[in-house]
Structure formats: structure tokens, C-alpha cells
Structure 1
């Protein structure tokens, strides 16, 4: 599909470029031809109205020119030229010129093109002819130059077009592949809880005579899996809304310091239960213009992520400060850390560094993707730093 799209783009680009070249070179070529015709007309007019002089250095005559005088009966009375021309050929050309309604035009003479001008005088008619071969040769040379330059330019532009087309299509292709992968991953994630639900329902159906209290274990399993599915679907919908810009975001100025402290209070019990030490350094009265609920969701995602991946008897450190024109929020947790090659991938959808561990903690690999989308919708930046077997830090920066 993308190969066809690429070929179509290249074909359209090259067709348009070829058309532009034809228009530019065609316009220059036609303008040059018109200019040469004007010059020829000017030369013919000069030869027509200058007094006739004997051939010599000061003569108005030029090589390849002919001056013909006709009598009142349109017979050739006198011919002034440096060339030898057959009388019949000359008479045939004169006949055509006389019959023409145009004072200035072109005529063929002995296989060559000539420009002519005729003027009626008292004693008959005067005709001046000048060879157009120099102009024709110049135009032919110009055309060859244009064809050469145009061909070389189009070949060069073809390679540039291929390069630019590849760059243009790559984000589209990547987006399409991510969408396919997203659907495949979502299907895979939904398949597991559905299989568990189906199995537990089968167990319940096989023991219809048992009362509810005996079946409670299987019902709890089903309930847990439906909650997991509900969470997954909710996260997928959030991402879809953020991608399409349909997520309702209401910007207002709020106290970010107060928001973070309030969220930390709700997590204190969970942190204590997991035997994790919490250290904070939150600067007071830091205000941010943004969507309060969205920013709350981001911090909860980061804090929840830190709790999941902090090692036993580990530590979580939360810091909020101002650095020049930026608000910087850091959430650091001790633990295994993340490999350098995985640092940029962790914000991709459904990406998990440790799949088995993520499944145990109930993660789908969507939280950080949601956090990134929200931060970017606030014109902010989120990234991660890590030291293997030591700690991982998530950093968010907002412009003030």
C-alpha cells in the first residue's frame, strides 16, 4: 500500500516539476523567438528605408539578405544581393510575397527560411529579405541547452523527490503501523481476561447445584478480570480522545504545589504498606496554567508507576521546583532501573520493559503514553533518566 502511495507521490511531484520546467523554458523560448523576430523586423525596416548604396563596408546589405525592386507590373526590375539565387526560385518567392496580405512575414527560399518586408513605392514595390538561419540556429541551440539542463535537473529532482517522499510517508507509515500494533496489542490484552472469565463461567456452570457462597471464588475472579478490562478500555478511550483532540481540557491557573501534596496524602497508606520511604521537596506556591484534572492524572500515573517498580525497602523522591522559565517536576524511585535503549520506548503504547512483572502489577503499558499525551497537550516535555540497578527518574517540564 505504501509503495503504491510512494510511487503516486513521486509521479505527481515529477509531473508537476516537468510541467513547471516546460512552462518556464517554454516561456523563455517563445519570448526569445518573439524578440528575434522583432530584431529581424527592425533590420528589415532599416534596410528598406536606408538609401541604396553600393556593396561595400558601409553598405546596409548583410550576408544572407536580398533587396528586390519590382516595377508597376510586379516584375523583378532589380536584385541586390551577395548570393547566387536561381531566378525561378526567386520569382516563386516574390509571387508568394505579393499574394500575402502581411507586410512582414516569413517565406521559404531555396529550402531556407527568410524574413521579408514589402513596401509599395511610386515605381512599383520594394521587397527586402533576410535569412532567418542565424535565428533558427540560435533557437535550436537554446532548445538543446534547455533539454539538456531540464533532463539533468529532472534526474536530480527525481532523487530529491524520492528522498522527500520517503521522509513524508515515514510518519504516516509509522502511525499506521502503530495503529495496527495498537489494535493487535489491545486484542491480545483483552484476550487474556476474556479467557479467564470464560473459564470461570464454565466452572460455575459445571457446578450449578452449588450455592453462591461456594462459587464466590470464581465470581471474584470474573469480577477482577472485568475490572481489568474496564481499566484497559478506559485508558484506550483516553488515548484515543487525546489523539483526536476530543478530550475535554479546560485550562485554568491552579496551585500545582497544593495539588501534588494532596495526591501524596492519598498515597501515603499504599506507600507505607509497601514499606517504601517517601521523601519530598515541593516548592510552595508554584502555579500552572492547565487542566487540573489532567495534570492530576499524570502525577497519579507517575506515582503509581514508582510504587510498582520500587525495590523492597526502597525509596521514592518527589521534587517540584522552578528553574528559570520552567516548572520542573521529578519523580524518582530506587530499583532495577531501565536500560538506555528502552528509555525512549517506555512512552510507547503497550510497551513494557519487564512483561512478566508488568502483568503481575496489572499494568498494560498505557499509563506513560497517556501521561506523555497530556503533558504534550500542555506544551510540556516528559522524559526519563535511569541508572541500572540504582534508580529511575521521570522528569516533566512546563514553560511558565
Structure 2
């Protein structure tokens, strides 16, 4: 149990950290990409205003002061921008025929490549977007379609490099946190582990200490019965003493099963074991007006503690008979699928909610507290069943489809 607690603590911490890092990297990545796109679109807007060129032309008379003022006032870019940017443009007719191509401001793209990019943009039907690492904008002038491409490869490479570096650093950080959690989780759960061990020792020790006085009380009641004859008060003492002894034995058994000791496991025929146990409960089911049937796949064997598995079957049958409704149906199923043996107990009930299902394996939990005196027991049976299944590295589950039936399934890996 402590080992499972450590694993859950590590998994919860790692998943939380992974989620936080993913959100942070996602937000930073989206904001960076958005900033890159906004800057590229601002440059393209400037080029669009001048029909594919920066405002460094005869209209401005090559006045550097006018250029700087224009760029800073309208787009807040450096006056070096026209000399740093690489761009090209393609003008087309509405039918896609090429009117002109301007690749004078870029060396990596020739006329043919520029035309191919333009036709690719036309097929997408988008006004803005990326083709490779070229950001483009499309607009119409009269009957012409003008497409301007801006080389943003350097910025996109930097963005991708930042993204991959961040992911790499995050992975290294996650691994570092994982090693720290593996090292520190033992110390974190140590107080709980110590308290849990003390609780188990207390239950075991107290159980053994209670056995002696309970035995003496029962023996004294028998002696008094021989002296004064049968008496309702003596019968009540004997009944309650037996119940208390059963409760003590159940608590001791549950404590031992949760320790999952390394007992010697042997191969035994579980099909025969289930069949024999079902036969012993047939008479009890009939006297309580319950219909008990079994669907057992023959010749199945498993390796484990035969005595504990027999007790598991007994608990499942006893629970089904106790809580099945009058005239209800009970079915025990044993089958093997792939490398897993499934042992199931199905029974109809008057009513059971899905909220009850969640707590069936809790200690001392009773679905209907008003029936305690009728059914007996202490709400420990399914807790013991769960401990037995866990000791065999299996898994036990409970479910209901219509809230009028209960299915408990134990799965054992072969």
C-alpha cells in the first residue's frame, strides 16, 4: 500500500508539473508566433501601400529623414528595415496569368519559383498565410491580383529553435524533478507509513489480546448454562461473543492480507474450487428463495494461495446471497480471456446507487445500514476480498448498469 501511495504521489506531481509546463510553453509559443505574424503583416502592409516596395524611391527623393520619419510614425520599424528585408512579388490576372514578377530584392527565389508560390497561394484562396517560411499577403488592384511575399525564415528558425530548446530544457527539468521525487517521496510518506504500520500492529495485537477474554466469556457462559439451564440472557451473551470473535478474526485477517506477505504460491484448479464452493451455497440460496447458478469454464488453473482464493469465492457468494432481493437471481462466472482469469459474482438487488458502488470495498461500509441485524456481517467482507485480489496482483471492480443489479469482478493475471 505504501509503495502504491508513493507511485501515486510521484505520478500526480509529475502530471501536474507536465500540465503546468505544457500550458506555459503553449502560451509563450502562441504569443511569440502571434508577435512574429503581426510584425510580418505590418511589414507586408507597408509593402502593400507602396505596391511591393518600401518607401525608398523617387517619390520620397531618397530623403533618409523622410524615410525614417515615415517608418517610425507609421510602423515603428528601424530605418534599416528596407535593407534587412528580403521580399518578392507576383502580379497576376484574375485568371491566374502572370503579369509581372519582381525578385530583385531576394536571391533565394527565382522567377519560376516565385510563380509557383503565387499559384500555390491562389489555390489556397487565403488572403494571408505562410508558404514555407514566406509570409504573404494578397490584394487586388483593379482586375489584377497582387501577391507580396516576405522572407521570414530567419525569424521562424529562431522561433522553432526557441521552442525546441524550451522543450528540451523542460524535459531535463522533468527528469530532474522525477529523480528528486523518487528520492524524497520516501521521506514524504514516511510519517504515514509509520502510522499505518502502528495501526496494523495495534489491530493484530489487540485482536490477539481480545481472543483470550472472549474465549473465557464464552466458556463461562456455557458453564452457567449447565448450572442454571438455558436462559435468553446467556444466549444473547454467547451470540454477541461469537460475533465479536468473528469481527476480531476478520480484522486480523484483513491486516495480514494487506501486508501481502510472500507466501508460497501453488498451481491449483480454480474451476473445481469455484464449482465446489457454489455447490455448498446452493442449499442456503434455496432456503432464502434465491436462484443461484454458475457458468464455469472447465479446466482452468491459476497459481496462488488456494485457501485465500477459496475465501474470496466464499465472500462473493455470501455477499450476493445476503443482498440479493427476494426471488432474485445470482450467477457466478469463471472464464479466461487472453492471459487473465475473470471471477464474477452477479446478483439482482432491490436498489443500489452508483454512489454506493464507489464505497463497496471500504472497511465497515454497508449499503443499507438498516439491514445490519438481518444480514449480519460487519462490512469487512469485500474489503478482505479486495485485499486477497491485490495480494495476487489482480484487480477487483464493482459496477451496476440499471441500479437494480450488482456485478463484482476479480481479474487475476495468469
Larger Rg: 1
When the two structures are superposed, what TM-score results if normalisation uses the length of structure 1? Answer: 0.49
When the two structures are superposed, what TM-score results if normalisation uses the length of structure 2? Answer: 0.48
